[in-house]
A and B are shown apart, each in its own frame.
Chain A
Amino acid sequence: METLAALGDGFWIALTIQNLGLALTGCFLGTIIGALPGLGPSNGVAILIPLAFSLGLPATPALILLTSVYYGAMYGGRISSILLNIPGDEPALMTTLDGYPMARRGQAGEALAISGLASFVGAFFATWGLVFLAPQLVKLALLFGPAEYFALFTLAFATLGGLTSRNQAKSAFAAALGLGIAMIGVDGQTGVPRFTFGEVHFYDGIDFLVAIVGLFAISEVFLFLEHRGEGDKGGDGSKVKLGRIVPPLAMIRQTTGSMTRGTLIGFVAGVLPGAGASLGSFVAYSMEKRIADRKGTFGTGDPRGVAAPEAGNNAAAGGALVPMLALGVPGSGTTAVLLAMLLALNITPGPLLFQQNPDVVWGLIAALFIGNLMLLAMNLPLVGLFVRVLQIPPRFLMPAVAMISFVGIYGISGSTFDLKVMIAFGVMGWVLRKLDVPLVPVILGVLLGDQMEKNLRRAMTISDGDIWALFASPLSITLWSLAIIGFVLPPLVGRYFRPKIADTAKAEGADPD
């Protein structure tokens, strides 16, 4: 009841003209960002953060804008999956399997409608899950001391690759690289400069927004330059006939079970550290195929094969917000980017956020409910509008994305040095992507490095240098064990879970969620 009262207050905050306007803008931009191949939730949110920041939006409105973009992108990803057989972002990969065959049979409109509905169901119930689960997790988090937090951060890194990880050594490499970057600058506790190489600009450390925009957005521009002329990505959305955009009742009834199962699986996958929306949709699809595919129609345009992964990825998007808000440990690329937003606004997520800034948390959650309704309204009748957006060719889109990235970073600091650092991160991101090194652990390392070290040193100060203090409480031992299992298990069992499609070239360079 307490929770519902808090949620009610949240609606008062979210229902101002400004916040409603921001939610609407966010949902609209998000759907476009998700739909455009080459722009996914994480780099879409990444280029918008510096803008929201330099526009001087306060915390709650800024967060409402960006999470609306996040939810919107999850809705939008399916549009190009269904119409063009190109996933707009990684979580939408599974939707191509049955969505595109449906479109080729002239059922594009129905596929879009049923997937839009599935997205709504997934996101709506996951937001309820967030309402009830996050406060419980906060109660648990209040028991955490520095040693437990250190173990929790390790757990987040260890499981970040998740079941879809192909090479754990590369995930570990990426995490260490990110943490190393976070060490640059003056040490907060003793005031000595570290790894600055005498460069004054490095004394404040590297701004994580610069790193994120460089790694995600600028490297994407390089990928497009590399692949220029190899098949026209996008731009032929007009050729597909939409057909009817209202799904027949029978189809809704047929897919109800798929949506329910997809939602449940997706939410759980989202809450677990290091899984994110891609895993949510992968597992939802494979499970659904195992449960419901008796006639072998999956892969040939079965509406249930569209409904399950869409419900799954949207539910996972909501689920991934649980650990991010309650513990301050994001489970996926986009929630890592949202964490960057909070840190940039001087708000530290975690249990204290719920106590000190309940208006931020509950205003945000209420905005998610409102945003969901807006997205449903936008995505059913207005889907034709978004289809038209797909006709913007990347050769105009990518330069615009690059320039907006520059504007955002320049707007924060007005420093050309930061712009150059961003370009350097862009090159690094391109090389790492080519070598199949995941970028999300790098981002997480840059974001969490400081806090991770602070907690470690605080724990050591409390125990007066006794290293065993890290493993002293049952809670920390549990977290350490989970970390070890989470790191060792994927290579052993991953091959049974990992969908084949994730290993193909289509997944290469896809934007992480």
Chain B
Amino acid sequence: MRNISDRTFGIAGLLLAALIFWRASIIEESFIQDPLGPKAFPYVIATVLALASAFIVARPDPEPDWPRLGRVIEILFAVAVMVAYAQLLPVAGFVAATSVAAAYLCWRLSTPPVWALVAGITIAVGIYVVFHLILGLSLARGPWGF
């Protein structure tokens, strides 16, 4: 089937609109009340979203250029590394965590591993020097204080 991406996207949009509609309908109203209340505007948004989605389903654009599966996995891995980075930042401290994450990204953007590590450490130390030591921004402190 042609244009499957846009159709899927439109259907996802319709589901999202339904979700907004349902979550809006169960908002508990408080005793302070204005004529419109907290539900009306979300209803309007859900309606616009549903109409736009329906239109996208009805008249989809040509299929976009999706990457090969390998590259999708590549992006998923990058996401995983970033989430792990966010999680470990307060534990391992800024310089250590950032060196690893930046090195990973450099490596995946086709830098040879050893140089990626050097680049990662350079980026982390560079940011630390500029933003923490010079500009005084507070960064995550790890067990070693940096």
A interface vs B, CB < 8 Å? 51, 54-55, 166-167, 169-170, 172-173, 175-177, 179-180, 183, 187, 189-192, 194-195, 197, 218, 221-222, 224-226, 228-229, 394-396, 398-400, 402-404, 406-407, 410-411, 414, 416, 419-420, 423, 426-427, 430, 434-436, 452-453, 456-457, 460-461, 464-465, 505, 508
- Identify which of residues 11-36 in chain B touch chain A, using a CB-to-CB cut-off of 8 Å: 13, 16, 20, 23-24, 27-30, 32-36
B residues less than 8 Å from A420 (CB atoms): 83, 86
B residues less than 8 Å from A419 (CB atoms): 82, 85-86, 89
12 extra interface residue pairs, beta carbon distance < 8 Å, beyond A172-B48, A416-B89, A435-B61: A167-B61, A177-B49, A190-B30, A190-B37, A191-B32, A225-B108, A400-B102, A406-B89, A407-B131, A423-B82, A430-B75, A460-B36
B residues less than 8 Å from A177 (CB atoms): 16, 49
Separation of A14 and B124 alpha carbons in the complex (Å):
34
B residues less than 8 Å from A170 (CB atoms): 52, 56, 61
Among B30, B78, B108, max chain A CB count under 10 A is at: B78
- B64, A55: Cβ atoms closer than 8 Å: no
A residues less than 8 Å from B35 (CB atoms): 457, 460-461, 464-465
Please judge, given known A-B contacts A55-B136, A190-B30, A435-B64, whether A402 and B20 are in contact too, CB under 8 Å.
no
Please judge, given known A-B contacts A192-B30, A224-B109, A395-B110, whether A179 and B45 are in contact too, CB under 8 Å.
yes
Count of CB-CB pairs between chains A and B under 8 Å: 201
Separation of A222 and B140 alpha carbons in the complex (Å):
25
- Kindly report which residue of chain B lies nearest to residue A508, judged by CB atoms: B65
- B119, A399: Cβ atoms closer than 8 Å: yes
B51 is an interface residue with CB less than 8 A from chain A:
yes
- Kindly report which residue of chain A lies nearest to residue B62, judged by CB atoms: A436
Please judge, given known A-B contacts A54-B137, A225-B108, whether A194 and B127 are in contact too, CB under 8 Å.
no
The residue from A179, A430, A461 contacting B34, defined by CB atoms under 8 A apart? A461
B residues less than 8 Å from A197 (CB atoms): 23
B114 is an interface residue with CB less than 8 A from chain A:
no
B95-119 near A? 1/0 per residue, CB < 8 Å: 0001001110110111100000001
B contact residues, total (Cβ < 8 Å): 73
- B5, A435: Cβ atoms closer than 8 Å: yes
21 contacts between A and B (CB under 8 A): A55-B135, A173-B13, A176-B48, A190-B33, A190-B34, A190-B38, A225-B105, A225-B108, A396-B111, A396-B119, A400-B126, A406-B98, A407-B94, A414-B140, A416-B86, A427-B79, A430-B75, A435-B61, A453-B41, A456-B40, A457-B36
Separation of A410 and B103 alpha carbons in the complex (Å):
20
- A173, B52: Cβ atoms closer than 8 Å: yes
- Kindly report which residue of chain A lies nearest to residue B91, judged by CB atoms: A416
Output the least CB separation between B15 and chain A (Å).
Answer: 13
The residue from B38, B46, B78 contacting A192, defined by CB atoms under 8 A apart? B38
B61-78 near A? 1/0 per residue, CB < 8 Å: 100111100010011001
Output the least CB separation between A45 and chain B (Å).
Answer: 17
The residue from B27, B52, B123 contacting A176, defined by CB atoms under 8 A apart? B52
- B87, A396: Cβ atoms closer than 8 Å: no
B residues less than 8 Å from A218 (CB atoms): 82
A residues less than 8 Å from B23 (CB atoms): 194-195, 197
- Kindly report which residue of chain A lies nearest to residue B106, judged by CB atoms: A399
- Kindly report which residue of chain B lies nearest to residue A232, judged by CB atoms: B110
Output the least CB separation between A28 and chain B (Å).
Answer: 14
Separation of A427 and B76 alpha carbons in the complex (Å):
9
B139 is an interface residue with CB less than 8 A from chain A:
yes
- Kindly report which residue of chain B lies nearest to residue A399, judged by CB atoms: B105
- A411, B86: Cβ atoms closer than 8 Å: no
